[in-house]
Amino acid sequence: MIDPQAVVHPSAKLGVHVEVGPFAVVEAEARLGSGVKVAAQAFVGAGVEIGDHSQIGVGAVLLSGTHLGPRCFVEAGAVLGASGFGFVFDQGEHVPIPQVSGVELGAGVRVGAGSCIDRGTLEPTRVGDGAEIGAQVQLAHNVVIGERSRIEHQSGLAGSSTVGSDCFMGLQKGMAGKASLGDRSRLDVRGGLLRKTPPDSDLWGFPARPRAEAMRAQAALSLLARSSDPQE
């Protein structure tokens, strides 16, 4: 059902049982698979592809170059396909590097409210099948997220960083540009990863390091603070 207050370009291709809510916009050559639901005030840009039975939340924005697999769920206010943050400093001026690629989400991906996934520079930013992206998460240009990995709320991954398959990243953590988290690894709450790590890592702290090592360092720091306290 297409709400009479929605705007759907005549060249857009809509599958069966598609729903487009009031004041939503679907631009030219967009492709919406069967059973897709686009909520009120959402925006689907030119040429965007949305797989079968996916749902686009209220006010979500899917810009040109964005491709969603089947059964994806993009929650309210999320933005997919905005320009990546790439600049060169030339003659005293920040000159933007063209970000000409897109965003690719696999099957069954969930993107939380208010999250932003930037389009890639030359290769797409990719999120693998079954991945879960929390609310207010920033995935910069050319980030790659492996299958079934989970990234909790208020996190930021810098450009070209990678997360392997079956990983878990706790609340408010970050990754530096080109950092890499190996398959089946864990980066705990407020961790900050600055380098490449092997599979099956269990990381904690900033800069993130193996949990046992980080705990020993924290204990030593606590003992040092006590030994220097004149009241002890």
Active site residue ranges: 141
**Is the bond preceding residue 199 a cis peptide, omega within 30 degrees?**
no
- Cα–Cα distances (Å) from 58 to 72, 105, 114, 153, in that order, read 15, 19, 11, 19
Taking a C-beta distance cutoff of 8 angstroms, is the pair 181, 167 a contact?
yes
